[in-house]
Amino acid sequence: MSGVFAVSRIIHIRARHIFLVFTASVLALSFVLARGNYALSASGNVALPDNGGRVILIDPGHGGFDGGAVGVNGTIEKDVNLSISLKLRDILTDAGFTVVMTRDTDCALNDSEDTTIRRRKISDMRNRLNLTKLYPDSVLVSVHQNKLTESSRVRGAQIFYSPNQPDSKVLAGYIQDEFNGCIQPDKPRETVKTGKNLYLFYHAQNVAVLCECGFLSNPDEEALLCTEAYQYKVAYCIFRGIMKWNEGLSD
């Protein structure tokens, strides 16, 4: 009996080993493919990717005094936004993009003299808008999480786009396609144009998209959004969408 047990245990361990190697290989392959712009130099070394130095302005929504939405189990939106944004920053930087962050810590961008919450929110938004003006050729990518008080079942990522540049809709479409294919093939969503209520996107003249990565009002999705693995998945969806859009521009 112990011999049979030992053999089955070895088979089990080998199967697990093969599975882990296979999973790692698939991840590594998709990583290389996603970073697309690599080329072999004459010496045979892998040349650094060149994405034309395009500036991506990553905007982790909320921060500091402004926590954003609160999940059913207490997750604070600003924290998830920042975690995903930092991962996206690293991936984009590795792929040769120039990245500017509106914030890379838990802070707001409001003017220090503002005393009321309302005034702080207004100057916070105005200062984010000022950054889009400081980098007029940059692509604004805001990262947020959604919340719906009426239902805890609604889930999924949805990408919004600013009405001011036709390319915003194109970029949003690429990112939405990535989410629909990788995360929500059973329930694909469509992109939505932002309205007057979203100050930053109404006024920004850059190519600008807002990624609502998931619903904190759905307990399952809230739990997923708090894991490192899922945050990487979300960041890669956004990254792949940006890559495909950027490649389309240079065709």
- The binding site for Zn ion (CB under 5 A) comprises 61, 68, 144
Could you please report the per-residue DSSP string of 117-144? Answer: HHHHHHHHHHHHHHHHHHSTTSEEEEEE
Minimum CB separation of residue 142 from Zn ion in Å reads 8
| CB closer to Zn ion out of 34 and 192 | 192
Minimum CB separation of residue 126 from Zn ion in Å reads 17
217 vs 58: CA distance, rounded Å:
24
**CB-closest chain residue to Zn ion:** 144
| CB closer to Zn ion out of 62 and 89 | 62
| CB closer to Zn ion out of 79 and 167 | 79
| CB closer to Zn ion out of 38 and 66 | 66
Minimum CB separation of residue 119 from Zn ion in Å reads 19
Minimum CB separation of residue 163 from Zn ion in Å reads 19
| CB closer to Zn ion out of 60 and 173 | 60
Answer yes or no: are the C-beta atoms of 56 and 139 closer than 8 Å.
yes
**Would you call 55 helix, strand, or coil by DSSP?**
strand
DSSP letter assigned to residue 49? P
Place of tokens 């915003």: 168
Minimum CB separation of residue 152 from Zn ion in Å reads 18
Q: Which residues in 67-77 are b (16+ Cβ under 10 Å) and which e?
A: ebbebbeebbb
